[in-house]
Amino acid sequence: MGIAAFLSSHFVIELLAVLALIAGVVFESRYLFALLRRKAHLEEQLGLAAGAFHDIVEARFDTWALTPSERDVAHFTLKGFGIAEIAELRGTAEGTVKAHLNGIYRKAGVTGRGAFVSLFIEDLMALPQSAETLPA
């Protein structure tokens, strides 16, 4: 086996390696673009779901005829803030927040925070899902 044969076989091996790398880059690029399209689709669906949830929340608040202060406290409650945190965020006393919460719970027909939040979770679970929005 001479030097020409060695260089020729070496060239073939390098050529195969380059072709494999190019194929890998093409495959990964296509996969990346597919992931980016999926991400954009999921972000769009999330935006639609967030809008639908907001509409559900506002419809419930309208049905219960919550005052603006009660709406504010109810929003903070749904976001998971505690009484002290809500009072601090609103610049009111904890007793005021408790009074608002009692009014909210009474109007909603529930006995506490867990039951209040579960009303909205049930609404979300009741939303119809199309085959397109189901997780892949």
Rounded Cα distance, 87 and 32, in Å: 46
Please state which of the ranges 34-43, 46-55, 116-125 shows the lowest mean pLDDT: 46-55
The predicted pLDDT at position 71 comes to: 96
Q: Please determine, for residue 3, whether its predicted confidence score (pLDDT) is greater than 80.
A: no
Average pLDDT, the chain: 88
Helical ranges in 65-82 per DSSP H: 68-78
Rounded Cα distance, 87 and 132, in Å: 42
Residue 11 pLDDT grade (very low, low, confident, very high; cuts 50, 70, 90): confident
DSSP 134: S
3-state secondary structure of 94: helix
* CATH class of the region 3-126: mainly alpha
On whether the pTM is more than 0.85, the answer is no
Alpha-carbon radius of gyration of the chain:
29
User: Where is pLDDT greater, at 4 or 41?
Assistant: 41
Domain range summary for the chain, segments of one domain joined by +: 3-126
